[in-house]
Amino acid sequence: MADDDERIDSDEDELKRLRGSSRYQTSRAAEDVQHADTHDAHSELRQYQAYRNRRQQQQQQQQQQQQQAAHHPRQQPQSERRKGLLSFGDTSRQHQSSWREEQQQQQRDEDDADMDELDQEGEGEDDDVFRQMFPVSFGRSSAKAKSAKPLLGVARRPEHQQQPAVATPLPPPDDDGDQEDPVAAGGGDAAEDDDISEAELARIRAMMGRESASPGGGGGSGGGRGRIPCAYEVEVPAHNKTVSALSLNPKGSRMITGGLDYQVRLFDFNGMTTAMRSFRQFEPVEGHTIMAIEYSITGSHFICAAGDAICRIYDLDAKPVQKTVKGDMYIRDTANTRGHTHMITDCHWHPNDKNTFITAGHDATVRIWDVNARAYGIDQALPMVHCLKAIDKRNMNISNCFVICCTYTNTEAKAIVGGCVDGSIQVWNEKKKYGKPDHVVRDAHASEVTCVKFTKDNTRLISRAQDDTMKLWDMRQLKSPVHTWGNLLNVNAAAKVNVGLSPDESLIFTGTSVDKRNKDGFIKFYSSSTYECVQSLTFANVGVTTTVWNDEINQLVSGHTDGTVRLNYDTSISQKGALLFIAKAPAKRRDDMVGFNEPVFQADNLPKIFKETRSGHLRKVKPRDAEREQKTKMPQKPSTMAGAEENKLSQYIAQRINKSTIKDEDPVEVLRAYAEKVEENPEFIGRAYTRTQPKAVLDYSMEESVGDQMLHEMPQCPRCGLKMCRCGYMQSQEPPSKQRKVG
């Protein structure tokens, strides 16, 4: 115990010396050393000393209790005393006390041996919990922490890695704990045995001084924000053709994809299982590919450019909310049209305003839209707010110089940048009335620009084009690029290859396409400070189209030409996302489940007793569902409209009592029923003629006028069938004396 106390009271230099072993340098072991770069040496030493003090106090208390129990056997637990009595039967009390002392001494020896073994090897259960809080074990280096292994997901190893994506973690202490520090010794024998270079020694010194040594300067203290999450990969079958658009909501809980199969699919990571099915699928426009799609900054809506001149807004359940106006293509000045006249190629939300977004199209314009603008036309669609015109080499706004991609600046959206089909990059600064661009980089690329993206400080711009290059620009001087990366294949005309930044912006990454010569796709990561290739992820026989690195879940999501979406993650630095469904098996079908055909109804005429669920099935609405959904319990209001009927019991009874059935009666039958009664008992006129005229004499003749009598006497024409002849045949048959003379 004295040796342990001396080791506990050692200073920080001794702790550094203990951490000089090269056990961790031979393997990556990301799960065991995820926090090795972030913990401070002083806090580790203080916490470990406090832990050791608590262990010593507990041991002393146990020894005192055992000594008191040895002198006072009555204070032992009743179970122990019963055990002694049952073991020895009727032996004397003296033999019982001696046996207890031997048992207690043996227990104390075993406890001391366990404590020594715990101090030497660090295999105790309490140390396991404590070791998880720290990246380095304080016991022997042979004790290895258990690494988390997902139930689903393919472990992958980067094919190309010129330098580590993050600084390698510090090694744990050696077995003896007193080996010489290779850093303090200037290399020496220890450096030769461990094969540590001078650069590695300098890196360890910098890390001991709490300085970050990861690429870009941001990977050492951000909880893995600079490390590439590529330890495991999950492949989600999303589309039948190439994935052309991909977006994640800000929280990283939902994903939306669009493809060349004209479909849009929505995925919810919280509700997904290993079956990896989407919870919603729809086709915005029949036969139109999805060009762009993006969630809003709040994640409550998303916009979709479906290959036509209209941009559509949907809610979280993919229900249409609003759409933009389609402009008049016969108006020459595009600024006078209320919307795009040609296909929309890209769309993005405002970085701060949830009601504003921009679109770019083949009509050589970038347009700004406001969701709360006054609707226009019969369709009540959104009209544009501003129109930004792109120009060609002749400074003319024509459709030959259409805009392929666009974006806002990140913080305050003081500028809008568009990449055009002629390879130019055009910038519009914020102003009250937009027009032609303020800055034009005419020969930025040799081919069409597929993506432009700003850094967080808005001073640097990254562009990607189909000339197989990616360029970094300084917004303060746009004459020439700061750096150019080449040999990045980009041949997908329909699906645009994008660029991205790591959460700490220490890495710049982009995907590559495949062709007959290059059959493997890559996601290449470059340092934003040294511009060197840090790492490359290989995808066999499949190209990469769009890639997103979500900051909230710290996972890399990429769309590919085979229609799949692949989620790359690391269990040590990633959270949620793919980790939510890789171990969740789908529900099993039971044998007692019976299938039946559900009723079929029209989509626009669904009965009130049925309700459509999220899965598309119909469910009967329970009587109390409306009351549960109603926030407040209010009595039924009286009807105020004219002709409204009130459903009251008293009114119903009164209507039944005083109900008039005259509408349902036959008048002939009613009169015949009264005829017999009149003959038997005449009450009115018939009583006066009972004696003088017992038999009624009725006149059934009808009075005819003179005209009717003349009409009955006239003969009917045999040709036209009329008594008033129209054909003239009757007049020709009359004698000449009676014929009418004209003139």
pLDDT in tens, 373-415: 999 988 899 999 999 999 999 888 887 889 999 999 988 888 9
Instruction: Verify that 357 and 467 share a domain, yes or no.
Output: yes
189 with 152, same domain: the answer is no
Domain presence at residue 301: yes
Residue 488 within a domain:
yes
State whether 93 and 193 are in the same domain: no
Last residue of a domain, one of 158, 173, 190: 158
Spatial distance between the Cα atoms of 126 and 137, rounded to a whole number of angstroms:
13
Among 535, 561, 580, identify where a domain stops: 580
Q: Do 292 and 357 share a structural domain?
A: yes
CB of 530 closer than 8 Å to CB of 507: no
In percent, the amount of the chain with pLDDT more than 70 equals: 65
Say which residue, 607 or 423, is predicted with more confidence.
Answer: 423
Residue 456 lies in a domain: yes
In a domain, residue 718? The reply is no
Specify the pLDDT at position 595: 63
Q: Are both 344 and 466 inside the same structural domain?
A: yes
**Distance between CA atoms of residues 506 and 527, nearest Å:** 6
In the predicted structure, residue 714 carries a pLDDT above the cut 90: no
Q: 283 near 314, Cβ under 8 Å?
A: no
pLDDT at res. 217:
38
My answer on whether 322 and 257 are in the same domain is yes
3-class DSSP assignment, residue 2: helix
Rg (CA), the chain: 45
pLDDT score of 340: 95
Contacts of 208 (CB under 8 A, 6+ apart): 16, 41, 183
The CATH number assigned to the domain holding 248 equals 2.130.10.10
Tokens of 605: 């005429």
Q: Residue 90: what pLDDT?
A: 45
Residue 164 clears pLDDT 60, i.e. is over it: no
In a domain, 260, yes or no: yes
Q: Is 596 domain-assigned? A: no
pLDDT in tens, 171-200: 343 444 443 443 333 343 433 434 445 555
Same structural domain for residues 331 and 190? no
484 shares a domain with 520: yes
Indicate the pLDDT class of residue 162, thresholds 50, 70 and 90: very low
Q: Which secondary-structure segment (H or E) carries 116?
A: helix 93-121
Domain count, the chain: 3
For the segment 86-144, what is each residue's pLDDT rounded down to a tens digit? 443 444 445 445 556 666 777 777 767 666 665 555 444 445 544 554 444 444 444 44
Q: What is the mean pLDDT of residues 223-232?
A: 79
Q: Does 575 share its domain with 461?
A: yes
Residue 243 CA, distance from chain mean position: 16
Judge if 406 and 514 occupy the same domain. yes
Q: For strands 292-295 and 301-305, give the pairing.
A: antiparallel
Pick the last residue of a domain from 533, 555, 580: 580
Q: What CA–CA distances, in Å, run from 481 to 69, 410, 472, 474, 686?
A: 82, 20, 6, 7, 121
Q: Are residues 200 and 249 in the same domain?
A: no
The tens digit of pLDDT for each residue in 271-324 reads 999 999 999 999 999 999 999 999 999 999 999 999 999 999 999 999 999 999
Q: What is the pLDDT of residues 445-487, one digit of tens each?
A: 999 999 999 999 999 999 999 999 999 999 999 999 999 999 9
Do 475 and 334 lie in one domain? The reply is: yes
Do the domain assignments include residue 706?
A: no
CB atoms < 10 A from the CB of 345, how many? Answer: 23
The domain in which residue 186 lies consists of 181-208
Residue 630, in any domain of the structure: no
Q: Give yes or no for residue 48 having a pLDDT over 50.
A: yes
